[in-house]
């Protein structure tokens, strides 16, 4: 179990940590301190809410992968069991939804056109990865269980 926790921590830093943390920081670095200038305009609260909700989605899913799926969020160390509970009852990809919420929250909070372009490219990349790599692997690994799950739950929302 300790090994699984460490692997999840490493892959969380590597995958969503880079996509939703490091790259946005590099894009926004001159503006990053704007988050600490108060009072905030209303749009910053909406942006912050998107970031917090996205983080909750992400952490909930990573926990579900570790506990129910006995694996990690990384394709290099995938779950051993198909996870269909929690947020996975509503969307097949809540972790990706969480990352996109974080990115869109950051985009709104900083009103950054560069981050909007990056977020759009990330969303397109997620779709390509999910459709052409992840879903075929899940079909191969989980067979009829995954097919049945796909019939009940939409890819996104």
- In which band, very low, low, confident or very high, does the pLDDT at 1 lie, cut at 50, 70 and 90? low
Does residue 99 fall inside a structural domain? yes
In the chain, the number of structural domains is 1
Does residue 8 fall inside a structural domain? yes
Does residue 80 fall inside a structural domain? yes
Does residue 64 fall inside a structural domain? yes
38: domain range? 2-152
Does residue 157 fall inside a structural domain? no
Does residue 145 fall inside a structural domain? yes
CA distances from 12 to 5, 71, 76, 149 (A): 10, 12, 12, 25
Q: Tell me: the pLDDT tens digits for 47-84?
A: 999 999 999 999 999 889 888 888 887 777 788 999 99
CA-based torsion, 4, 56, 121, 108: positive or negative? negative
Q: Which of 67, 89, 93 lies closest to 8 in space, CA to CA? A: 67
Print burial letters for 77-96: b (CB count within 10 Å at least 16), e (below 16): ebbeebbbeebbeebbbbbb
CATH of the domain at 112: 1.20.120
Q: Tell me: the pLDDT tens digits for 79-136?
A: 899 999 999 999 999 999 999 999 999 999 999 999 999 999 999 999 999 999 999 9
């Amino acid at each position: 179990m300790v090994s699984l926790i460490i692997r999840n921590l490493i892959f969380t830093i590597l995958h969503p940590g880079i996509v939703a943390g490091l790259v946005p920081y590099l894009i926004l670095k001159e503006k990053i301190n704007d988050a600490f200038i108060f009072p905030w305009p209303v749009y910053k609260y909406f942006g912050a809410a998107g970031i917090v909700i996205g983080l909750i989605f992400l952490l909930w899913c990573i926990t579900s992968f570790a506990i129910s799926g006995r694996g990690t969020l990384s394709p290099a160390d995938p779950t051993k069991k198909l996870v269909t509970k929690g947020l996975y009852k509503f969307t097949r990809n809540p972790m990706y939804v969480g990352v996109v919420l974080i990115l869109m929250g950051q985009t709104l909070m900083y009103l950054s056109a560069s981050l909007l372009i990056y977020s759009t490219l990330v969303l397109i990349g997620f779709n390509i990865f999910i459709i052409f790599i992840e879903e075929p692997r899940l079909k191969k690994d989980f067979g009829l269980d995954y097919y049945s799950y796909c019939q009940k739950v939409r890819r996104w929302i």
